């Protein structure tokens, strides 16, 4: 039994070396010294702060979308007219609760920034994920969001949300006199 193991052992070593060559590692056998290769350079420093906070966008919004930039002014007017059936953005533990794409359930979304200074809204902590939206414009009254995933962006377009009620604040209920 021990003799047959000694005959098979070199075959295992050769097979292992052959498979290691297919693993995609950058180290070659000629310069390998047993150390692991240095890790890829990580971005310097922590991520910057997003350009907006959850409190800035919580509220009721009229929503519409466009595909061509020249349609944005018309789309803002269309979004404003949707305030009779508002799109609600609520506060959540990690940021905001709002709809994602292709899912009728409200999801927890985080507001996050990238090292390039862009702000994103989406699930999970990493910026620019496939399910994220990039904040293209925000002035307190109009919020323009672009889907990161090109396929989703092709279906849904660029989202324009116009705050319902007074500019810069959520709509307040009017009391009936009587």
Say if residues 133 and 151 touch (Cβ distance below 8 Å). Answer: no
Q: How many helices (H) and strands (E) does the chain have?
A: 4, 8
Say whether 87 sits in a helix, a strand or coil. strand
Task: Please give the C-alpha separations between residue 48 and each of 6, 107, 119, in angstroms, as whole numbers.
Answer: 59, 24, 9
pLDDT at 3: 52
pLDDT, averaged across the chain: 80
Q: Are 141 and 115 in contact (CB under 8 A)?
A: no
pLDDT at 166: 55
pLDDT at residue 15 greater than cutoff 60: no
Query: What is the structure's pLDDT at 92?
Result: 97
* pLDDT in the model for residue 123: 96
Give me the phi and psi of 48, to 5 degrees please. Answer: -70, 170
Residue 173 confidence (pLDDT): 40
pLDDT of residue 45: 77
Q: What is the pLDDT of residues 85-112, one digit of tens each?
A: 999 999 999 999 999 999 899 999 999 9
Instruction: Flag the least confident range among 24-38, 57-71, 157-171.
Output: 24-38
What's the pLDDT score for residue 46?
A: 85
User: Which value, in Å, is the radius of gyration of the alpha carbons in the chain?
Assistant: 26
User: Residue 129: pLDDT above 90?
Assistant: yes
- pLDDT band at 114; cut points 50, 70, 90: very high
47 falls in which pLDDT band (50, 70, 90)? confident
Q: Domain segments of the chain: what residues?
A: 54-163
Mean pLDDT of 55-83: 97
């Amino acid at each position: 039994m021990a003799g047959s193991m000694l005959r098979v052992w070199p075959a295992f070593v050769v097979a292992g070396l052959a498979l290691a060559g297919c693993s995609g590692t950058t180290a070659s056998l000629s310069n390998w010294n047993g150390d692991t290769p240095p890790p890829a350079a990580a971005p310097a420093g922590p991520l910057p702060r997003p350009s907006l906070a959850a409190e800035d966008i919580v509220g009721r919004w009229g929503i519409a979308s466009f595909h061509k930039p020249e349609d944005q002014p018309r789309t803002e007017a269309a979004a404003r007219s949707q305030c009779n059936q508002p799109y609600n953005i609520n506060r959540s533990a990690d940021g905001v609760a709002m709809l994602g794409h292709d899912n009728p359930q409200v999801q927890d979304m985080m507001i996050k920034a990238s090292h390039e200074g862009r702000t994103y809204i989406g699930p999970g902590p990493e910026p620019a994920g496939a399910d994220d939206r990039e904040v293209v414009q925000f002035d307190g009254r109009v919020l323009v969001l672009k889907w990161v995933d090109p396929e989703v962006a092709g279906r849904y377009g660029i989202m324009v949300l116009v705050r319902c009620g007074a500019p810069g604040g959520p709509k307040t209920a009017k009391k009936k006199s009587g």
